[in-house]
Structure formats: structure tokens, C-alpha cells
Structure 1
Amino acid sequence: MKKKVLAIVGPTASGKTKLSIIVAEKIGGEIISADSRQVYRYMDIGTAKPSKEERERVKHYFIDELNPDEEFNAGVFGERGREIIEDIFSRGKVPIIVGGSGLYVKSLIDGFFEGPAGDWELRETLYRKAKQLGKEAVYEELKRVDPASAEKIHPNNLKRVIRALEVYYLTGKPISQLQVEMKPEINFETVQVGLNWDRKKLYRRIEKRVDEMIERGLIDEVRKLRELGYDKNLNSLQTVGYKEVFDYLDGLISYDEMVYLIKRNSRRYAKRQLTWFRQDRRIIWVDVDDGTDFNELADKVIEIYSRGN
């Protein structure tokens, strides 16, 4: 019988951190943060990172492990995360995956093949071709060499079109074929629990949290990142809450516009997260609102986990 992992998923500001700490303390769990930004140092307020006190109560992984200019992706997260899960099991603890980055959760619990490391020279050539001949030309090229991937990728998603071509030219095989051949074996099953909020109430929480982040010093956090020499165009900083503050500090937008845009873009991000998670029929949704007793909710989640899928 496969060992069981618990995953607590949901949109931003839905209460995942608070709930996961209580659950972990009740069942002897350790938390794997499935968040593509909390892995970076110096990005605490804008990523709503668990506090130092919370991390002292329960062991966390993938928090404060990299500098903002270091590369990190879902494929690497999945590989390292599965090693950590085995280690947690070996010590008689329960692995609890917590986060809102749907692709990261999927990479960890289902596995997917990322392909070979990027070849910058080849990538530059393909981008130049797209600039000279148009996106359609490189998409047509993909249709010729890897029709299965071309069917799944939107012609306007140039980044993914070029990545699929890059993999083909580096390996001689379509990425769609490699994904089937190289998919890792998953030695555990995952019980996924999603936090379900009324949309309007969730949006109000998001807006309140943005106000709190600004009060707690989000602008100074971004100033410090700049002082440390981190460029606003880094992938890690092209993140809701950070890109808007950089624009404000650069004089491109006013303070009020900055606040408005962070709130709007956070709501849009939550909507995208929900769209992703709703597609996964394995997720068991539990209702949450402002009056929810999180201790009782934790007991309910533990009961779902104990029953299994």
C-alpha cells in the first residue's frame, strides 16, 4: 500500500498557512511549501511567508532557500520535493504540501518531465526568428516537428512554443514524447484538500491583506531588494505586489495606482489559481469563511486525510 501525503491547496489569502500549521501540529507533520516565490530570501511581506514563529513550531521546506536572482522551476521543485517526502516518511512524520502554485503541486504529486537544461544560444536564435518572421512562423515550425505539443500550446504563448522547439532540437525527440517516456515514478498517493471561499468574501480578504502588507512595510522591502542590487526584471520579481511597487518607486505610477493595481492583480491571480485547481477532480473542497473555527476545520481535514481518496 502506498504511503499517503496530504496537500492543502487554494487561492491566495484563503488561510492555507494558518490551517496547515494546526494540522501539522496535530498529526506530526512537516510542511513542503508549494509556492514559487516563498523559496526566495528577502521577499517576506509580499509573498505572505509563514512567520519565523510559525516556522519554529513546524518544520518547513522551500522557504528562504535561494536568492532572487537564482533560477528555480516546477521541475526542480518536483524532483527535490519527492526526495524530501521520502525523508519525512523515513522519520515517521507526515508530509504536508501547502501552496497555491498549481503547477508546483502537480509537478510534485504527478511528476512531469521538464526536458534538458536550456541552451541559451539556440533559444536566442529561435527568439530572433520569431522577431523577424513573426510568432506564426515558429509555431508552424513546431507543428511540423511536434504536432502533439503544438495542439496543446497556444500560438501566442511564444515562451512555451520556443521551449518545445528547443527540446526537440536538443534531443531529437518531441517534448510530448519525452514527457511520456521520462515521467517519474510516484511512490505515494496524495489526498488533496482545497479551501473553498465565496468569491466576494475572498476578494475582500485579499484587499484587506494588501492593505496590511503595505502597512507592514512592503515598499521598504522592495527598496531593500533594489539596494541589494536585484533588478526588477528578474523572473522572481515579476510578481504581484513587487512589480507594482517597483513601478511606483520608479515614478511610473502614483501611490494610489500602485495600491489599486496590487489589489486588482491579486484578485486576478486568485481567479487563475481557482481555475487551475477546479480542473483537478481529485481535490476535496471544504467551505471556509470569516467565522470558520480553524481548529475544527483542521480536525475535518485530518479526517479526510485518514479516509484517503
Structure 2
Amino acid sequence: MMALPPVIFLMGPTAAGKTDLALELARLLPCDLISVDSAMVYRGMDIGTAKPERAVLEVFPHGLIDIRDPAESYSAAEFCADARALMAQSVEQGRIPLLVGGTMLYYKALLEGLADMPSADPLVRAELEARAAAEGWEALHRELAAVDPESAARIHPNDPQRLTRALEVYRVSGQTMTEHRRRQMQENPDTGTSTGSQLPYTVVQLAIAPAQRQILHERIARRFQAMLEQGFIEEVEALRSRSELHAGLPSIRAVGYRQAWAYLDGELSRDEMIERGIIATRQLAKRQFTWLRSWSDLQWLDSLACDNLSCVLKYLESVSILH
């Protein structure tokens, strides 16, 4: 029986050093880099997403960067379809797909599949977002709690994307997310997801992060300040100049952009924007750690170690990826 072709997942919290390690691997191995980042998909959002510089992308192209306009949405289902196509293309060429980024939901969706939910409805979503703008997200959370208390318990009132999606599913189909998932568990008890979700690869799962959380917090603060020096506010001003973009879009709700947008709206002072941007980034890192702590088959690397590249190469040899 032939071994499945290899795929490498390089995960970790924001500012942990994922991109640097991915580039080191790509210099030595026949890797095709695929971005796993829900914000880097957007064009014109470069500084605030810590997107690799143009010169780097010319030498080391990344799939799934700059594939959407900020006015558009991009779902986990779309990511799975796009990533699967790029992985298949890479393997056909005898290369190794190297997926790098910090959007944990995307990795989970690739590994486990996605629950089969109704398609998005732009009219319903626009209605929900208009109501949220008028009454606040707490009002929508109360509505969700009334029809789907299980989903409401999982979704924070300040998580508008998931909150909107849960209500959209109910309004479009007449069934709650909980009811959809329960039905799918009955139909496919092994995973509770749509069929055909198993990846046809040997997946090597790596995670990189500083061993001490305080070091990551310091990195996050330094990086946010560096982004400001690189012209982050000017980048957000350019986005604001487009009449079709607004604070309710998934792109503009990205960490950092949301705070900068509020600053330019006059809702925050510059110091408040910086403080809230750094806090929001730390909270993102905390959520990423929460995902990773529940992950199985994960090989951890310390961001501060000087031999991560050799450690990864030895690990790949130990699991028969390299010979």
C-alpha cells in the first residue's frame, strides 16, 4: 500500500514567527506555500495583516493571499475548496504543500470537514447587520438565545460574524445550527460533518509559539507599533475612502483594522486605538492558543529556539516525510 503524499501544517498564534520558519523550510524543501489567514485574503490590507512583503512574495509565492476585495466575504467552506485545489496541484507536481497561518477554524475545517449548512443569503445578512447597527449586537444575541440557546451559549455577543451566521441559518432554513448539527451527527456519527471531508494526505501538524506568554505579548506590542510606523493608519484611510466599505464587513472587523477605523471615526483617541489594538491582538492570540491546546498530533516548537529548522527537518525524517 502506497503512503499518502505529505502536507505540512504550520500553525501558531499571531506574531509567533510562523512566516519566517515557513520561508526557511521553503528554501530547503520543494514546498508550495499556502496562506491560512482569513485577513490576508484581502487586497489592500497588507500592513495590518503582517502580510509578507512584495519582494518576499515574488520569490516565495503564497497561495490564497490577495484573492478577495475587502467588500467581499470569504468563508471557511470557500477556503477549504481553494486550499484543496492548491494542495492537489502541488502534489501533482511532486511538491509538498506547506500551509502556514493562524486561522485555526480553517485548519479544523480541512481536517474534519464542515457541517453541511445552508448557503449564505446576502439579503438576510444585510437585514441582520442593519438591525445590529440600529439596536446593537446584544439584541441579536438575545434573539439567538430565544431560538437556539446552545449556539447562543457558544457564541459571544461581541462575535458578530458567528452571531450573524447562526441567525442567518435559522432564518434561511427554519432550523437552528444546533438542529442541523444534530441531524448530521445522526447521519454521519463518526464526524458529524459532511461526507468526503478526509484529506488524502499524510498531514504533519506543527505549532510554533514562545514558551513564555509574556514574550508573545511583548512581540505583539512591538509589531503593532511597527505597523503604525509603516503606515497602517494611511492604509486604513485608503480603505475608508471607498464608499462601499464599512465597519460591519468581515474585512474591516479584522483585529487592528476595527480599532483604526474607530479612531478615524473619532470614537477613539490615538492612544486608545493603540491600547485596544494591542489588547485585541493579545485576545486573538489567546483564542489561538485555546484552539491549539485541544489539538491532537501536534509537534510544538519554541519561537525563541535557534534550531527550529533542524528540529523540523529531523521530525519530518522521523515520520518518514523526508528520506
What band does the TM-score fall into relative to the shorter chain? 0.7 to 0.9
- Is 1:285 paired with 2:297? no
Instruction: Give the match for residue 54 of structure 2.
Output: 52
> How much does 1:134 deviate?
7.8
Cα deviations across residues 36-71 of structure 1 (Å, max 9, x unaligned)?
A: 000000000000001112212222101011110111
Give the direction of change, closer, same or farther, for the CA distance of 1:298–1:99 in structure 2 (3 Å limit). Answer: same
Instruction: Give the match for residue 236 of structure 1.
Output: 251
Instruction: Give the match for residue 225 of structure 2.
Output: 211
Q: Which runs of 5+ in 2 are unaligned?
A: 186-191
1:4 is aligned, of 3, 6, 9, to 6
Letter in 2 for 1:194: A
Instruction: Give the match for residue 95 of structure 1.
Output: 97
Give the direction of change, closer, same or farther, for the CA distance of 1:155–1:17 in structure 2 (3 Å limit). Answer: closer
Alpha-carbon separation, structure 2, partners of 1:240 and 1:173:
28
1:57-76, aligned counterparts within 5 Å?
Answer: 57-76=59-78
Cα deviations across residues 110-136 of structure 1 (Å, max 9, x unaligned)?
A: 3213523123566688998xx8x9856
- Is 1:182 paired with 2:194? yes
Give the direction of change, closer, same or farther, for the CA distance of 1:201–1:125 in structure 2 (3 Å limit). Answer: closer
Give the direction of change, closer, same or farther, for the CA distance of 1:245–1:136 in structure 2 (3 Å limit). Answer: closer
Alpha-carbon separation, structure 1, partners of 2:155 and 2:247:
27
1:100-249, aligned counterparts within 5 Å?
Answer: 100-120=102-122, 138-139=144-145, 141-142=147-148, 153=154, 158-159=163-164, 161-166=166-171, 168-169=173-174, 174-176=179-181, 177-178=183-184, 180=192, 182-183=194-195, 184-197=197-210, 198-229=212-243, 230-249=245-264
Checking the alignment, whether the CA contact within 8 Å between 2:208 and 2:301 is kept in structure 1 is: yes
Alpha-carbon separation, structure 1, partners of 2:118 and 2:313:
39
Alpha-carbon separation, structure 2, partners of 1:140 and 1:233:
24
Checking the alignment, whether the CA contact within 8 Å between 2:32 and 2:62 is kept in structure 1 is: yes
Checking the alignment, whether the CA contact within 8 Å between 2:40 and 2:49 is kept in structure 1 is: yes
Give the direction of change, closer, same or farther, for the CA distance of 1:113–1:298 in structure 2 (3 Å limit). Answer: same
Cα deviations across residues 155-182 of structure 1 (Å, max 9, x unaligned)?
A: 9674354245346537999421347362
Alpha-carbon separation, structure 1, partners of 2:275 and 2:16:
20
Instruction: Give the match for residue 42 of structure 1.
Output: 44
Letter in 2 for 1:284: Q
Alpha-carbon separation, structure 1, partners of 2:281 and 2:152:
30
RMSD: 2.9
The TM-score normalised by the length of structure 2 is 0.82
Letter in 2 for 1:187: P
> How much does 1:301 deviate?
1.3
> How much does 1:202 deviate?
0.7
The TM-score normalised by the length of structure 1 is 0.85
Checking the alignment, whether the CA contact within 8 Å between 2:43 and 2:67 is kept in structure 1 is: yes
> How much does 1:213 deviate?
0.3
Checking the alignment, whether the CA contact within 8 Å between 1:69 and 1:236 is kept in structure 2 is: yes
2:311 is aligned, of 300, 304, 307, to 300
Alpha-carbon separation, structure 2, partners of 1:208 and 1:36:
22
Checking the alignment, whether the CA contact within 8 Å between 2:35 and 2:63 is kept in structure 1 is: yes
Give the direction of change, closer, same or farther, for the CA distance of 1:226–1:136 in structure 2 (3 Å limit). Answer: closer
Cα deviations across residues 204-259 of structure 1 (Å, max 9, x unaligned)?
A: 01101011000000010011111233223211111121111111112211111111
Letter in 2 for 1:6: I
Q: Percent identity?
A: 31
Alpha-carbon separation, structure 2, partners of 1:263 and 1:248:
14
Instruction: Give the match for residue 146 of structure 1.
Output: none
Checking the alignment, whether the CA contact within 8 Å between 1:75 and 1:114 is kept in structure 2 is: no
Checking the alignment, whether the CA contact within 8 Å between 1:13 and 1:209 is kept in structure 2 is: yes
> How much does 1:308 deviate?
3.1
1:20 is aligned, of 19, 22, 25, to 22
- Is 1:269 paired with 2:284? yes
